[in-house]
Amino acid sequence: MSEPILRVDNLESYYGPVMAIRGVSVEVHEGQIVTVLGANGAGKTTLLKTISGIMDPEKGTIHLEGESIQGMEPDQIVRRGVIHVPEGREVFPLLSVEENLLMGAYTRNDKAGVRNDLEMVYGYFPILKDKARQAAGTLSGGQQQMLAIGRGLLAKPKVMLLDEPSLGLSPLLVKEIFTIIKRLNTEQGVTMMLVEQNAKVALDTAHHGYVMEIGRIVMNDKAPVLAASKDIQEFYLGVQEAGERTQKRWKKRKTWR
């Protein structure tokens, strides 16, 4: 396999004195969807914030297309092509839907290309075109998630970082959002790193997966292999029949809480 477009090696990041991620290494290859699974507090969001420059790592390296990006300011990392779609959407509520989308293209000078990409986004999210002049703050949660993804696409990402896109959405909307995520990958070639608590939908969508617990990567493999793992089935997919190793790990997890 070719060199990864995004490589994270032995990363450590802290919140004050607390180590949030420890020795994390992740690879994302061009054209892939890679998911990072884990419960609340596992360090998934911290990992994305560190990659996108919102947090500075204490140790480790982050490379995009073979070149180091750690230590860069977030706007420099955006210009390099790493686009972070944050947890909670963070749209600009008083701006219109279209103004929000065009904020994603603030680093671009190709007006014709921006207009073409805007129409592409409207093709995937027709509701955004219908509400293009409406204030973003009046949209539903699912529509705001579509808007946040669309805004990221306007930046022409080399790698899109998606933080909990299913958060707070109904099962029907989750299915719709993830169907579009998969289409963007297969039809537009968008490379994505996706962090999620909804393991089933994430593993159904991704090519490869990592599992984080207490700031560490504890498992990684192809998505179908992880989906078939007894550990994953027990902890994340709600399957009750677990092997001896899974039961032992579950007892250990109880002592961590």
pLDDT at 255 over 70: no
Q: Does any domain span residue 99?
A: yes
Instruction: State how far the Cα of 138 lies from the Cα of 146, in Å rounded to an integer.
Output: 13
Q: Give the confidence band of 2 by pLDDT, cuts at 50, 70, 90.
A: confident
150, containing H or E segment = helix 141-153
- Mean pLDDT computed over 188-207: 95
Which whole number is the average pLDDT over 111-129?
Answer: 97
- Residue 1 falls inside a structural domain: no
User: What is the pLDDT at residue 193?
Assistant: 98
Better-scored residue on pLDDT, 221 or 232: 221
* Matching residue, tokens 């190793």: 245
Give the burial string for 136-162 (b: 16+ CB within 10 Å, else e).
beebeebbbbbbbbbbbbbbbbbbbbb
Residue 166 lies in a domain: yes
Indicate whether 153 pLDDT > 90.
yes
Q: What is the pLDDT of residue 41?
A: 86
Q: Can you give the pLDDT at residue 18?
A: 87
Mean pLDDT of 227-236: 83
pLDDT at 178 over 50: yes
Q: What is the DSSP letter of 4?
A: P
Q: Specify the pTM.
A: 0.88
Radius of gyration of the chain (CA): 18
Residue 147 lies in a domain: yes
Taking the C-alpha atoms of residue 145 and residue 167, their distance in angstroms, rounded to an integer, is 9
Look at residue 155 and tell me if it is in a domain. yes
State the average pLDDT over residues 66-93. 93
Between the alpha carbon of residue 45 and those of residues 34, 41, 42, 51, 109, the distances in Å are 14, 9, 8, 10, 31
Query: What is the model's pLDDT at position 237?
Result: 66
Asked if residue 18 is part of any domain, the answer here is yes
Number of domains making up the chain: 1
237 inside domain: yes
> Residue 15: which pLDDT band, with cuts at 50, 70 and 90?
confident
Specify the pLDDT at position 197.
Answer: 85
Range of the domain at 78: 6-256
Mean model confidence pLDDT for the chain: 90
- The mean pLDDT value for 227-242 works out to 71
Quote the pLDDT of residue 240: 45
Has residue 123 been placed in a domain? yes
Please report, as a single letter, which amino acid is at residue 88. Answer: G
**pLDDT tens per residue across span 88-114:** 778 999 999 999 999 999 999 999 999
CATH number at 175 reads 3.40.50.300
Which residue reads 């065009």 in tokens? 102
Band the pLDDT of 257: cuts 50, 70, 90. Answer: very low
